[in-house]
């Protein structure tokens, strides 16, 4: 299994436990909020100099990989449901499995 650098951390002593970019006090949600409002990545990096471009791109890739894998698992579950199988999704457990599959064992969503 590949080892990944810790991308996101959560510590009660840092912003009350809000997930932040590892090694910073910058909430990960801020990245998505900026992008949602059409701000370019360069503007985000200028406004938050403790966030490195590579780190922001790695978090975006991680979330993309996570969503892609999650969509695949949901599609499999829907196929099973269409066959009449009873399925139950434990979202937290599913996300752990997805992270392990992707090799992001140190990352926290």
> Residue 102 has what pLDDT?
59
- Picking from 65, 51, 64, the residue whose alpha carbon sits closest to that of residue 103 is 65
pLDDT at 67 over 70: yes
- pLDDT tens digit sequence for 73-102: 888 887 877 778 776 667 777 777 766 665
> Residue 107 has what pLDDT?
43
- pLDDT tens digit sequence for 40-66: 999 999 999 999 999 999 999 988 888
Calculate mean pLDDT across residues 21-33: 92
Give whole-number Cα distances, 108 to 4, 8, 36, in Å.
11, 6, 21
> Residue 100 has what pLDDT?
66
> Residue 3 has what pLDDT?
40
- How far apart CA 107 and CA 105 sit, in angstroms, is 6
CATH class of 8-102: mainly alpha
- How far apart CA 8 and CA 107 sit, in angstroms, is 6
> Residue 42 has what pLDDT?
96
């Amino acid at each position: 299994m590949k080892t990944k650098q810790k991308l996101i951390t959560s510590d009660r002593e840092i912003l009350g436990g809000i997930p932040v970019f590892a090694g910073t006090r910058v909430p990960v949600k801020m990245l998505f909020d900026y992008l949602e409002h059409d701000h370019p990545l360069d503007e985000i990096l200028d406004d938050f100099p403790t966030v490195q471009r590579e780190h922001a791109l790695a978090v975006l890739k991680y979330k993309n990989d996570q969503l892609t894998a999650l969509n695949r698992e949901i599609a499999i579950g829907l196929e099973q449901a269409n066959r009449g199988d009873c399925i139950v999704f434990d979202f937290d457990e599913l996300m752990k499995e997805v992270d392990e599959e992707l090799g992001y064992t140190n990352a926290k969503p």
